[in-house]
A and B are shown apart, each in its own frame.
Chain A
Amino acid sequence: MAMAMTIRNAASRRAMNPISADFSLRSMSSWWKNVEPAPKDPILGVTEAFLADPSPDKVNVGVGAYRDDNGKPVVLECVREAERRIAGSSFMEYLPMGGSVKMVEETLKLAYGDDSEFIKDKRIAAVQALSGTGACRLFADFQKRFCPGSQIYIPVPTWSNHHNIWRDADVPQKTYHYYHPETKGLNFSGLMDDVKNAPEGSFFLLHACAHNPTGVDPTDEQWREISQLFKAKKHFAFFDMAYQGFASGDPARDAKSIRIFLEDGHHIGISQSYAKNMGLYGQRVGCLSVLCEDEKQAVTVKSQLQQLARPMYSNPPLHGAQIVSTILGDPELKSLWLKEVKIMADRIIGMRTTLRESLEKLGSPLSWEHVTKQWANTKTG
């Protein structure tokens, strides 16, 4: 009846003192003596500090959450309307482990295209996930379980939590060149060199659009070259798309990098998030998808993704998913959403222009053209 598991040696993983074996003293002292305070999260810690600051002039340009021109959080009109429709609903039963089927269907259309053959052929294994973080984490765990010798190549710099995610999934990390400090643009040759020099069949994390934290994206032409090199090297492309709609104001435009890779025949993975583009931050709504060879494999891979989700949270939260499927499933609401996304993106693009002009007006001797250039790439063909 007793079932012993192999004890895993965690001692090498971090420097910490294992709990002393002197149990006779245990009843008087805490089990937690050796637990040290964790460092503040580099991003969320900024908001904590901001909230604690009493100065009336304070400005929070830390966390990536959209604000209106008065610095206030925004709830989209389409979201409010969706909530009115679902409030008091009599359905609160568990979602399936893979989440809301309707929400996932609509979400795949956004990434792969409304008329995507892959959707028609049912080749995509997809599950609702806990926003972008949850989608990345599920993929990282899946990669660890089914390609246990593999590593992940992560751009420098990247969203800091990417490192935490793949580390906690126990997948070794390598980095590739991305940001060029001198030009404040893309280090394209460095990137291509690293892609070329990586062992064949490596896993790469790519930001589909609106790279976080630099705002620097490859041009379409550069994406094509990256895709060709990926093909030659048989690399696996995992896209983190957290800002679809937010970069250019046009969701189809922002998915261009993904569409290029799909055209070129790659079998990719995608993490999608509604935190920013639908303002659903706290609802934790997202999606993980993996393009497979055929429908049978997609069913199989999906079953394994669910198997990873079950001991993490059983099934994903309903409310945000209901909002998404209500909006995307209704043509009027969807069109309202697209308008609102464009307004948010335009406001940010306007801010970039204003900021740059203000800096130049103040007579700054430095070049600030990168501030507007960093979104401009999304507009070029």
Chain B
Amino acid sequence: MEEVILHGTSYNLFTYRVIWALKIKGIPFDYIEEEHSDKGSLIMKYNPAFKRFPILFHGEKALSESMVILEYIEDTWPQNPLLPIDPFDRAKARFWVKFAGDKGHCVGTMYYTTGEKQEKAIKETIEMLKIIEEQAFGDQEKNFFGGEKIGIVDMAFGIIPHWLEVIEDIVGVKLLEPHSFPRLLNWVQNFKEEQVIKENLPNRDNMFVFLKNQREILLSSS
């Protein structure tokens, strides 16, 4: 099998999505941690369009953008599928992946802004969580968005477990209340207890310190 090398950055959800996908499929890979501020030769050569990590190398092939990488991983290694088989169910899964991409940035905005901008981002985050709670789970009770096993939608919503919790602590808000989001909180619990996820999450305390420092730097320079 051709070598698989992942270049990513610490505490970065997009990097973790790729790690989770590779681990679930049992694909051996090397991980190289890059500097957050690195916009050097790798990025300019392999992702000038978006200028960011993660970048996955499979032999000589280079891929970037985490959800594109996940579909590639799914196409290349079909074991332990991340997507359903039925085309309609696949379309539904991809819809929620797109939704996560469209709306997920409000969590980041909540984190690195203050005042009115932050209030707006908090509102948008709550709206996003409401839509997921009310519409993304469908009619059946199941452990994950994908059913009994973790799938691509669970990974797309990966910002909610762990990352949102840490950002809530830093910013000083509590959005994921049990009475408002029972299904989401149940999912968060299941997600974090899943073996592959449990073994591949950034250390919470270290992430808290890192993100808190980053926030202070960001806010003082704006």
- Is B one of A's binding partners? no
**Residues of B at under 8 Å CB distance from A?**
none
